[in-house]
């Protein structure tokens, strides 16, 4: 009936019953500790993988947005430095320009008008570029 270790006396019917009950109790306890079937475990693994992929995509988009923001900030800073340099150069040149003689007010209006036209054109070009890039992930290119 029951397997007994070698060199040991055979178990009495009461001992065999007790051993059988202990084995059943151990099996029942092990069954209670098994939380998931193999199919449930695989399904949970697929769900976890999908969640990880979604999180990765969100991080990639957020990283792309940070990079775009940093590039825009650096471009703005460089644009400001360039504008200040051109401002000084044009102001110094207008002081020597002979076509308005000593009329500094006229020179300032010409300067303001020219910069306004230049600014409107630059903003228009940047708007076109932004519309073309809208919705595209720059990291995928």
- pLDDT (tens digit, 0 to 9) for every residue of the chain, 141 residues total? 445 555 666 767 788 888 888 888 888 877 776 777 778 888 999 999 999 999 999 998 888 888 888 888 988 898 899 889 988 888 888 778 777 677 777 788 888 888 889 888 988 888 888 777 776 655 554
Contact in structure between 19 and 2 (CB atoms under 8 Å): yes
Domain ranges, residue 68: 13-140
For residue 5, tell me if it sits in a domain.
no
Contact in structure between 138 and 68 (CB atoms under 8 Å): yes
For residue 1, tell me if it sits in a domain.
no
CA of 42: how far to CAs of 14, 49, 53, 84, in Å? Answer: 44, 10, 16, 63
CA of 34: how far to CAs of 25, 44, 45, 52, in Å? Answer: 14, 15, 16, 25
Residue 77 tokens, joined: 């800073």
For residue 50, tell me if it sits in a domain.
yes
Maximum Cα–Cα distance across the chain:
128
For residue 47, tell me if it sits in a domain.
yes
For residue 74, tell me if it sits in a domain.
yes
For residue 3, tell me if it sits in a domain.
no
The phi, psi pair for 20, rounded to 5°, reads -65, -45
> Into how many domains does the chain fold?
1
For residue 122, tell me if it sits in a domain.
yes
The pLDDT value given to residue 1: 46
Buried b (16+ CB within 10 A) or exposed e, 33-65: eeeeeeeeeeeeeeeeeeeeeeeeeeeeeeeee
For residue 91, tell me if it sits in a domain.
yes
Q: Is pTM beyond 0.75 here? A: no
Residue 105 tokens, joined: 């007010």
């Amino acid at each position: 009936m029951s397997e007994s270790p070698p060199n040991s006396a055979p178990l009495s019917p009461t001992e065999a019953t007790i051993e059988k009950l202990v084995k059943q109790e151990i099996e029942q306890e092990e069954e209670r500790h098994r939380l998931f079937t193999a199919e449930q475990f695989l399904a949970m693994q697929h769900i976890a993988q999908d969640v990880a992929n979604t999180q990765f995509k969100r991080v990639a988009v957020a990283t792309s947005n940070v990079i775009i923001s940093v590039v825009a900030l650096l471009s703005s800073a460089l644009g400001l430095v360039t504008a200040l340099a051109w401002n000084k150069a044009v102001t110094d040149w207008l002081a020597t320009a002979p076509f308005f003689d000593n009329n500094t007010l006229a020179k300032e209006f010409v300067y303001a008008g020219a910069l306004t036209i230049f600014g409107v054109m630059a903003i228009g070009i940047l708007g076109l570029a932004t519309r073309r890039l809208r919705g595209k992930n720059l990291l995928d290119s």
